[in-house]
Amino acid sequence: MKDILKTHVFKVRSLTKPDSLSKAESTLGSLLGVMQVSSNAGSRSLRVSYNLKFVTYASLTKKLRDLGCYPVENVLESLKTRFISFTEKNEIQSQASPARRLTRPPGQAVKNHR
């Protein structure tokens, strides 16, 4: 499977401790597949770049909760999370099953057999 690079911003609703955001930044940064993490205390958010080959949006969200950084929960964020999870699942599946790919070169016309 080839690398699938992603970047997402996680908005944090509440922190259990004042240093939770910086702790989350360093902990997420040490995970396999996470390439870059930056936090913004003013907007209470984390920008995370990661490789979908090793880690998913859902696993990062779970790790944030475990660290005491609870993501914003509203209808829009819920839809966003579900869409990202759906997209990532499909990207992983399409990489894992090469038989589903087109057998003809891109741009080549499909012949109409009648």
Q: Is-above-0.85 flag for pTM?
A: no
Alpha-carbon separation of residue 11 from 26, 54, 70 (angstroms): 17, 22, 9
pLDDT for 8 = 96
Strands 69-71 and 34-40: unpaired
- Which helix (H) or strand (E) segment holds residue 107: the answer is none
Spell out, as residue ranges, where the chain has pLDDT lower than 70.
97-114
Task: Give me the pLDDT at residue 102, please.
Answer: 54
**What's the Cα-to-Cα distance from 25 to each of 49, 74, 90, 110, rounded to whole Å?**
12, 23, 28, 50
- Cα distances (angstroms) measured from residue 72 to each of 10, 76, 78, 107: 8, 10, 9, 43
